[in-house]
Structure 1
Amino acid sequence: MAFRVLLLCAVLFCVASSHDSPERAFALSTTEGSRAEEDLTGEAVVEDELDPEDQQVFHPTHEWQVVRPGQAVPAGLHVRLNLQSGINEARLPDTEATAQKRVKQEHRLGLDPSLYTPQGLKRALAKLKEDMNADAPEEKTRKEDLKQRFRPIEELKQEFERLHMNIESDFQIMARLIKILNSSTSTVEQKSAALYDLEYYVHQVDNAQDLLPLGGLQLVVNGLNSTEPLLRERSAFVLGSALSSNPRVQVKAMEGGALQKLLVILATEQPLPVKKKALFALSSMLRQFPYAQQQFLRLGGLDVLKGLSRERGAQTLSVRVVTLLYDLMVEKQILLDDGKYNELGSEKIQQYSQVDLAEAIQDQGWCTLISDLLGVPDHDHREKVLQTLNVLLSTCREPFRTNGQLNTTLDILRKEYEDLVKEEKNDGDDDGYFKELHNLVIDFTEGLR
């Protein structure tokens, strides 16, 4: 392509040069450029032409030949300047037969003889410019593909601006939900939906703490007294999620009377879903909060939980109660065993020292109540009961030993889990789940001796 451009430019140059002198019709005589020589006096003498004896004769043919410096070119030849080498070339004009032969050869090579006229060269150069500016089909396809895959930057900027205007922060969303809860014109369905959405946000510690300046925590605590069971249930659910591992919210909830309201729900007749969520909120309130544990015992919380575990059809609640008691006892035991009391501060140490949950469990008859739960059929429930029995072993040893039903249940469980362990081993599992349960049964049985 580059060679064709150079060739076209050269021919155009020759045509333009001869256009003003038609009589020459490309017949150019060239001589070696005149050189200036200095004579002895220092003046320059210009030789207008060479002596005929010093000139070499150029013998043209119908093929292009190099014109050497000093060669005389006969008139009537076609002359061109090779732009690649910078050398003059000349040849004889084509006869009619030679011209036809050359035209055929150029057609075979894809060349158009009309290109070598001034008009043809102009058209060729114009077309070349258009081709350079025009995209190839592949390039057009690529650009169309990019347009479909990517949106213009200006359109994206406008879209982001619109999105930015509509984006709400968690704080703003919570403020809007709390406004619905606090409105006297909101329906039960609207408040229920607001509590449902609010529970999602308060899982995060920072969002739960944002309930305090927004006044949302007290609204949720007050919702525990709602006359609508659904609102009581969802208020307890939001409260439990906000209290989990969040000491600041735990303190504010205690100050707002949440503990007393939760105990009232658990001690009175309520739908089962309401009691489940209330027990969840109570568990979140008591964990890692010794002051709340102390107040729980003072308000008769163990009696409330004992009544809850005796309700008909409340077996799931009973296991959750046992799990809560187990967690509270292990929490204090771990702190004592690991020597972490010094890291808690004097006030919290004093609060933990006033919480004697194990003694309260023995005094209020929980030893027999918990051991009776060992007969539940669910393996997961049995695991939690066995863990609690092992923790209470030192406190409830005598009630456990004198409980004939407990000893019978332990024998049954030992044989059951021995068979299940054998099945696990046959399946290639030497340390399976049932082996853990079997070990719990063995440890507790040996601890009773």
Structure 2
Amino acid sequence: MRVLPSVVSTTLFWCLAQTYPVIAATNEKDIVCPDSNPLNCYPKLFVATHEWQVVREGQVIPAGLNVRLDLENMSREAKLGDVPGKKTESKNHELVVTDGDSEFLSSLDFLKRWVNTQYSEPPAYAELVRHLDVLVDWASDPEAGVTIAQNVQPLLKASGLYGSKNAKHNTSGLTESQALKVREMTYRILSLSFRNNLEAQEKLLGFLNEPEVFLQHLVTGYELEPDLIVQRKLGLLGSLMNNHVFSDYVEQGGIEAELMLLYTKVDSLAIKQRIMTILEDLRLEKRDADADADADADADAADDGASLNKRFALLTRNSLVGTSLAADPQSRRVLESLGELKQLDRSAFKADTRFLDWMDKQINLERSHVIGLQKREPDHPHAEAERRYLDRLIELRHQVFGNPLGSRKEYLDEL
């Protein structure tokens, strides 16, 4: 009769081991326990079958398995290789990858959980950087770039671009310098993902509610950002400029004018170089025959401050000619920025006849507007502001871009 309890105990232990195989593990390192309940533990080594199974947090996927990412809930699933002739279930928006891609998917999932604070305790900074390094390494791969674009929200949150211009991102447990490093790496991932990747750019465009506002976030608010982040933002903008996917939104958002204004406000040579690269890639310059020779000569010069200023001034000058200051408020701002540059560096460019003729036309149009406004509505609230703007145009035309003595004949006391 004493044998019976022993048999029962052995049988019960065997049943429990089959139901909860992790209980039979002899090494605590072989199991993962998400909480204090031992029944919630599971093997650290993923046990595959011929059916797709969810890979739980912390599990190690053996080599040679098929791995996929369910893009609807960002869960990883794995299984043994397909049986010949057997049809397998396919989920919507799934990405099936080789075993080598599992690290990429794991890092993408890690970033999503970190951004959404789904960890009971903040992960170590070194672990976060390791996963970001993995994403940086993969981002240039076209298929990985598309996957990142399909799951771009966590990256936008980590960069600070998601939502409003001053959107907050998760910095739990990070110092200021660590948070800066995370943002910088996130921008690099985004830039690499969209560079020369038409499909990824189209996926991003489909995600954005207001693409022009998103682009504006990349060129404004520089006063609040370190130079490194401004450079990374411009790098992302440059990546989005090819393939013409965002061309219409560049125009709608006034991105060219914002870049020109940014150029005159920053001191960093590296930032100025990036701005010029984007502007020249957009082919904004409308050079006349005389300006072409100068521009070509400058293009071969070193990217020092003086050469950059000349290239920028030529590009800006030629982009203004043909616009209407009355109809385009941003052109007014660009003209002011060009005036500031000319005053800081008189040798930056020469205001040629074509540009001065354009300015004369704008002055005459503004003068006609001011005279008509004073005749029709002398008490109009904007009358004085328009008069001051006319005076400013005359000042720019003669004292900044032309001959200071020529301004005397422009001011009409009868106004």
TM-score, normalization by structure 1: 0.38
Structure of higher CA gyration radius: 1
Higher share of residues assigned helix: 1
